[in-house]
């Protein structure tokens, strides 16, 4: 399973890429626009795919012509929810754990997607539900 | 009580039950013989070849080519470092060691995707360095969705796509068997299902056209071409179109990875097989709320990882597929 290029994050200068972006990703509103491909991939896989047990198409709409994920599209509401969740996660780490510049995907975070999701799309979801 | 000589189930759906099998055995020589004739490999039923009066092979019959075997490895996820396996390079090396100690050297190795975890150049480099020690002639690859995360598979295709078509699909022949590597991870559709697409399906149709129905065909791709568990994306949306093109062949073996566990199913002439990962296991379909890396006790990890050995014998109409764990230990 795997996912790719997404989304997000709004107010943040919070995430600082360690390397130069290998390409420009479109419609990033939470994650920094110059995030590197490697960093973006790591967030998509570790935070979302493994953290929620989903694949790319959970948030990303499909381009009906090419049948490929349209990473820039905001068509699916799940994508906006993901953005809101990232903002919330950053806020929780800042407000309650006194992290100065919490970065999504960084091991220093006290609270991550996984903290509540435990590998499922909806926290609290059990087998067979 | 069943013994190891008892046929419990007939998974091949080939009309041969235990009684039928014994009858065939009595008729020594039953099977398909592969012969090279004018540069073309053809198969013949033994009844066409045996001289009924002498019980010997008819004149001018050539000895069939030697048997061969190949190995499938999958989902090595180089770069993964979470609790489910913090040493994926170590377990890949264990798989390589297993290959190198096999009684007969495999003619080649198929890697059915997710070579890397994040498609980073350094992850591909590490994989390549490790696989250099595999004692085989060649390694063939198809990408997993983790290998195409960046730039739509540019890194993968730059390394392994030089002699491929379209987005990386290709075919080759080996000792009379036609091998087809398909790419079903670039257009992963709703629900994470694999997708082949019309361009690849058209190519497949043309690729198969010149083959006689008796040609054994091996198809390999990352995401299963049969509906293992579509709820988790463990299927390919348009695989039916590909499988319909394969129906006329007498022996088709479909090899996949992606689900990190072995599973086999036979439908008519087609045998589907998914391989274990060399990196980490995933839950059985429906056994967890969602798929993903599954942590097992450290002492059990190598028992749920592994590789697959496939042997081709001319006188059998299916390929013999054997899964081998990296470790026989299965203690909890």
| For B152, nearest residue in chain A (alpha carbons) | A4
Residues contacting residue B66 through CB under 8 Å, at least 6 positions apart: B175
Q: Which two tokens stand for residue B226?
A: 């049969």
Closest CA to B41 of B211, B246, B245, B253: B211
Asked if pLDDT for residue A4 goes beyond 50, the answer is no
d(CA A8, CA A74): 10
Residue identified by tokens 């491929």 is B164
d(CA B259, CA B188): 15
pTM of the model: 0.78
Element (H, E) at B25: helix B18-26
| For A66, nearest residue in chain B (alpha carbons) | B187
Closest CA to B215 of B269, B140, B267, B273: B269
Q: In this complex, do B192 and A125 lie within 8 Å of one another by their Cβ atoms?
A: no
Q: Are A97 and A119 in contact (CB under 8 A)?
A: no
Q: In this complex, do A57 and B289 lie within 8 Å of one another by their Cβ atoms?
A: no
* CA of A59 vs chain B CAs: smallest distance (Å): 10
Please give the pLDDT value at position A105.
86
Residues contacting residue B154 through CB under 8 Å, at least 6 positions apart: none
Residues in A whose CB is inside 8 Å of some CB of B read 1-5, 22-23, 37-38, 41-42, 44-46, 49-50, 52-58, 62, 66-69, 119-121, 125-129
Query: What are the CA-CA distances from residue B244 to residues B168, B196, B214, B252, B294 (Å)?
Result: 22, 14, 16, 12, 35
Please give the pLDDT value at position B13.
44
Please give the pLDDT value at position B14.
42
Query: What are the CA-CA distances from residue A34 to residues A16, A25, B161 (Å)?
Result: 9, 8, 29
Residue range A64-111, pLDDT digits in tens: 887 788 899 999 999 999 999 999 999 999 999 999 888 888 889 999
* CA of A15 vs chain B CAs: smallest distance (Å): 19
Please give the pLDDT value at position A38.
87
Helix, strand, coil fractions of chain B, as percent rounded to 5: 25, 25, 50
Q: What torsion, rounded to 10 degrees, do the Cα atoms B214, B218, B219, B222 define?
A: 170
Q: Are B96 and B133 in contact (CB under 8 A)?
A: yes
* CA of A23 vs chain B CAs: smallest distance (Å): 8
Q: In this complex, do A23 and B151 lie within 8 Å of one another by their Cβ atoms?
A: yes
* CA of A71 vs chain B CAs: smallest distance (Å): 12
Task: Give the distance, in angstroms, between the CA of residue B66 and the centroid of all CA atoms in the same chain.
Answer: 20
Task: Give me the tens of pLDDT residue by residue for chain B, a chain 332 residues long.
Answer: 333 333 334 444 443 343 333 333 322 222 333 333 333 333 333 345 446 566 555 666 544 444 688 899 999 999 999 999 999 999 999 999 988 988 778 899 999 999 999 999 999 999 999 999 999 999 999 999 999 987 668 899 999 999 999 999 999 999 889 999 999 998 766 778 999 999 999 999 999 999 999 999 999 999 999 999 999 999 999 999 999 999 999 989 999 999 999 998 989 889 899 999 999 999 999 999 889 999 999 988 988 898 878 877 665 555 677 777 777 554 43
| For A58, nearest residue in chain B (alpha carbons) | B191
Per-residue exposure over B141-174, b if at least 16 CB sit within 10 Å of its own CB, e if not: bbbbbbbbbbbebebbbebbbeebeebbbbbeeb
**Which DSSP string corresponds to B293-312?**
-----GGGGGGS-EEEEEEE
DSSP letter assigned to residue B67? P
Three-state SS at B96 = helix
Please give the pLDDT value at position B57.
53
Q: In this complex, do B289 and A55 lie within 8 Å of one another by their Cβ atoms?
A: no
Please give the pLDDT value at position B52.
55
Question: Angle between the B88-100 and B121-131 helix axes, to the nearest 10 degrees?
Answer: 30
Closest CA to A1 of B161, B234, B116, B91: B234
Residue range A13-52, pLDDT digits in tens: 334 344 444 457 889 989 988 888 889 999 999 899 988 9
d(CA B211, CA A75): 45
**Which DSSP string corresponds to B111-123?**
E-S--BSS--HHH
d(CA B71, CA B85): 23
DSSP letter assigned to residue A44? I
């Amino acid at each position: 399973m795997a996912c790719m290029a997404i989304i997000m994050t709004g107010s943040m200068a919070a995430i600082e890429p360690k390397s130069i972006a290998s390409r420009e990703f479109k419609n990033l509103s939470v994650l920094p626009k110059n995030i590197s491909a490697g960093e973006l991939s790591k967030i998509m896989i570790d935070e979302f795919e493994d953290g929620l047990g989903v694949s790319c198409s959970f948030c990303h709409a499909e381009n009906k012509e090419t049948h490929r994920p349209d990473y820039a599209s905001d068509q699916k509401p799940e994508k906006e929810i993901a953005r809101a969740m990232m903002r919330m996660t950053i806020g929780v780490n800042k407000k309650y754990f006194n992290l100065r510049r919490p970065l999504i995907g960084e091991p220093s975070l006290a609270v991550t997607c996984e903290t509540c999701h435990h590998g499922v799309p909806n926290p609290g979801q059990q087998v067979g539900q | 009580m069943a013994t190891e000589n008892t046929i419990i189930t007939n998974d091949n759906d080939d009309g041969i039950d235990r009684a039928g099998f014994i009858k065939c055995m009595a008729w020594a020589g039953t099977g398909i013989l592969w012969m090279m004739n004018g540069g073309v490999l053809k198969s013949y039923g033994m009844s066409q070849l045996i001289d009924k009066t002498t019980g010997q092979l008819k004149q001018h019959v050539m000895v069939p080519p030697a048997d061969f075997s190949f190995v499938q490895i999958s989902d090595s996820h180089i770069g993964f470092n979470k609790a489910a396996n913090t040493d994926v390079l170590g377990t890949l090396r264990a798989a390589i060691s297993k290959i190198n100690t096999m009684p007969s050297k495999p003619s080649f190795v198929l890697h059915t995707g997710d070579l890397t975890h994040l498609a980073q150049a350094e992850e591909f480099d590490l994989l390549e360095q490790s696989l250099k020690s595999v004692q085989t002639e060649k390694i063939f690859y198809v990408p997993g969705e983790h290998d195409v995360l960046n730039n739509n598979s540019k890194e993968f295709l730059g390394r392994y796509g030089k002699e491929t078509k379209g987005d990386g699909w290709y075919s080759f022949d080996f000792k009379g068997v036609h091998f087809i590597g398909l790419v079903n991870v670039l257009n992963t559709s709703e629900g994470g299902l694999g997708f082949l697409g019309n361009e690849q399906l058209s190519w497949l149709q043309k690729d198969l056209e010149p083959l006689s129905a008796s040609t054994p065909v091996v198809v390999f791709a990352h995401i299963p071409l049969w509906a293992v568990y579509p709820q988790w994306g463990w299927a390919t949306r348009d695989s039916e179109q590909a499988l319909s093109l394969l129906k006329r062949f007498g022996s088709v073996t479909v090899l996949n990875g992606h689900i990190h566990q072995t599973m086999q199913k036979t439908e008519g002439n087609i045998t589907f097989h998914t391989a274990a990962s060399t990196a980490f296991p995933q839950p059985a379909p429906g056994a967890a709320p969602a798929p993903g890396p599954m942590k097992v006790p450290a002492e059990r990890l190598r028992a749920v990882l592994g590789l697959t050995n496939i042997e081709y014998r001319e006188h059998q109409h299916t390929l013999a597929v054997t899964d081998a764990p990296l470790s026989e230990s299965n203690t909890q």
